[in-house]
């Protein structure tokens, strides 16, 4: 049984049911039932039209459930005719479903969970494991999200930026449990790119590919973090880099610059450098200037300060950092790095230790603690 095929068909099947008048929650339950039936039946009797088969079975399950609840719900506005199996077009519906799952009425966490469930085809258990929360907690989160969007009707074009933000959140979760969320985000973004021609969709896909290409080099065998400058570039995935750069170049050629294209351009410049010392930092500063102009993002300003420190020297970097809110996560770690570059190990060690106490992950905490310890040891402290 091809699990990826089933998951790729999920959004189109779900969208067909919703378009026919099924409320979102009931339609999603019916699609899940159909997927389970496919797992049972297809190995011995594979259908010629896989999507048509899933639509037919899911619609039957929906109608069965609706009939069972008809007395209580008193809703007789659906045409209870079972469509014959056959080709079903789902391109527009798939795009519509992306917009629905990333609706502004949902919180970010709910939108991400619903997207993984309804568009990604993941089970509640898989999503819960990926986010390291109890399955019951994730089930409640998804149920609330389904109830919310059941009342939503998209009578205007959806917001591409919101969809992309949700996919970016999925990607940034990386890997945990038995689901590789970074790979899943790339798969979903590829799917989105097939149904909507938008340079920022291409920009996000390029950004994901370029970041993901460095994955094997980001951690040492003992699990410790390896900074970008110290990574073994021979471990980088050159095929993913080439694909990401090609997608980015095509997007930039359309002259409709957006934040994901700008971020991808920075990643491409890092990927283009054979050695860390050959990184084109002045051009990276220029791209961060573009990004700050597009978004005003404090995180972009923080990253720009690092790039300025590399391009113009650590004191210029510290001057740029002084314009960034000191309460921003990783601000202290950046300050420590720039002070270390500026030849002030005492201040750097103190700041590394402070940053370690605020680190969002154990791996990052250990990395910063080690940096502080090395500087203190070198000073004889």
pTM of the model: 0.80
Task: Give CA–CA dist 309/236, Å, rounded.
Answer: 25
Q: What is the structure's pLDDT at 75?
A: 42
Tokens of 363: 């791996």
SS (H, E, C) the chain: CCHHHHHHHHHHHHHHHHHCCCCHHHHHHHHHHHHHHHHHHCCCCCCCCHHHHHHHHHHHHHHHHHHHCHHHHCCCCCCCCCCCCCCCCCHHHHHHHHHHHCCCCCCHHHHHHHHHHHHCCCCHHHHHHHCCCCHHHHHHHHHHHHHHHHCCCCCCCCCHHHHHHHHHHHHHCCEECCEEHHHHHHHHHHHHHHHCCCHHHHHHHHHHHHHHCCHHHCECCCCCECCHHHCCHHHCCHHHHHHHHHHHHHHHCCCCCCHHHHHHHHHHHHHHCCCHHHCCHHHHHHHHHHHHHHHCCHHHHHHHHHHHHHHHCHHHHHHHHCCCCCCCCCHHHHHHHHHHHCCCHHHHHHHHHHHHHCCCCHHHHHHHHHHHHHHHHHCCC
- Find the Cα–Cα–Cα–Cα dihedral 286, 287, 291, 293, rounded to 10°: 30
21: region left, alpha or beta (phi > 0 left; psi from -120 to 50 alpha):
left
Task: Give CA–CA dist 176/181, Å, rounded.
Answer: 8
Half-sphere exposure of 220 (CA within 13 A, CB side): 10
Q: What is the structure's pLDDT at 80?
A: 47
Q: What is the structure's pLDDT at 242?
A: 97
Q: For tokens 């990004």, name the residue.
A: 291
Radius of gyration, CA atoms only, the chain: 24
Tokens of 145: 């999200």
Measuring CA to CA, which residue among 198, 199, 201 is closest to residue 186? 201
With b for 16 or more beta-carbon neighbours within 10 A and e for fewer, the 292-308 pattern comes to: bebeeeeebbbbbbbbb
Q: Give mean pLDDT in consecutive 10-residue pieces for the chain, a chain of 381 residues.
A: 78 86 87 89 89 92 79 46 46 72 85 87 83 88 88 69 88 69 89 90 97 94 92 97 98 96 98 96 98 95 98 98 94 97 96 94 93 90 56
Q: What is the structure's pLDDT at 381?
A: 56
Tokens of 216: 């094997």
Measuring CA to CA, which residue among 199, 121, 218, 133 is closest to residue 161? 199
Q: What is the structure's pLDDT at 278?
A: 97
Task: Give CA–CA dist 3/121, Å, rounded.
Answer: 9
Task: Give CA–CA dist 29/17, Å, rounded.
Answer: 11
Measuring CA to CA, which residue among 32, 24, 54 is closest to residue 154? 24
Half-sphere exposure of 248 (CA within 13 A, CB side): 26
Measuring CA to CA, which residue among 114, 305, 301, 307 is closest to residue 228? 307
Task: Give CA–CA dist 85/60, Å, rounded.
Answer: 12
């Amino acid at each position: 049984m091809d699990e990826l095929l089933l998951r790729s068909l999920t959004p189109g099947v779900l969208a067909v049911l919703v378009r026919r008048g099924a409320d979102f929650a009931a339609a999603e339950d019916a699609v899940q039932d159909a997927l389970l039936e496919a797992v049972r039946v297809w190995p011995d009797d594979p259908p010629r039209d896989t999507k048509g088969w899933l639509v037919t079975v899911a619609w039957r399950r929906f109608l069965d459930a609706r009939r069972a609840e008809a007395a209580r719900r008193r809703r007789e506005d659906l045409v209870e005719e079972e469509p014959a199996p056959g080709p079903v077009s789902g391109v527009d519906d798939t795009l519509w479903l992306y917009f629905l799952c990333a609706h502004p009425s949902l919180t970010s966490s709910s939108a991400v969970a619903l997207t993984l469930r309804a568009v990604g085809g993941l089970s509640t258990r898989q999503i819960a494991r990926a986010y390291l929360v109890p399955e019951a907690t994730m089930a409640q989160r998804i149920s609330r999200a389904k109830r919310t969007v059941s009342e939503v009707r998209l009578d205007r074009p959806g917001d591409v930026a919101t969809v992309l933000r949700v996919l970016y959140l999925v990607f940034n979760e990386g890997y945990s449990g038995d689901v590789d969320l970074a790979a899943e985000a790339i798969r979903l973004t590829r799917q989105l790119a097939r149904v909507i021609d938008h340079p920022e969709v291409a920009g996000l896909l390029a950004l994901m590919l370029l970041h993901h290409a460095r994955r094997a080099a980001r951690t040492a065998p003992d699990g410790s973090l390896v900074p970008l400058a110290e990574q073994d570039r021979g471990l980088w995935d050159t095929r993913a880099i080439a694909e990401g750069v090609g997608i980015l170049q095509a997007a930039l050629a359309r002259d409709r610059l957006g934040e994901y294209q700008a971020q991808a351009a920075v990643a491409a410049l890092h990927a283009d450098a054979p050695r860390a010392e050959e990184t084109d930092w002045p051009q990276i500063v220029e791209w961060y200037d573009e990004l700050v102009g597009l978004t005003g993002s404090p995180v972009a300003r923080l990253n720009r300060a690092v790039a300025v420190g590399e391009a113009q020297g650590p004191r210029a970097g510290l001057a740029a950092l002084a314009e960034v809110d000191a309460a921003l996560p990783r601000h202290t770690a950046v300050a420590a790095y720039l002070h270390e570059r500026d030849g002030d190990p005492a201040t750097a060690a103190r700041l590394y230790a402070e940053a370690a106490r605020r680190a969002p992950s154990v791996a990052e905490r250990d990395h910063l603690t080690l940096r502080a310890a090395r500087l203190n040891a070198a000073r004889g402290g």
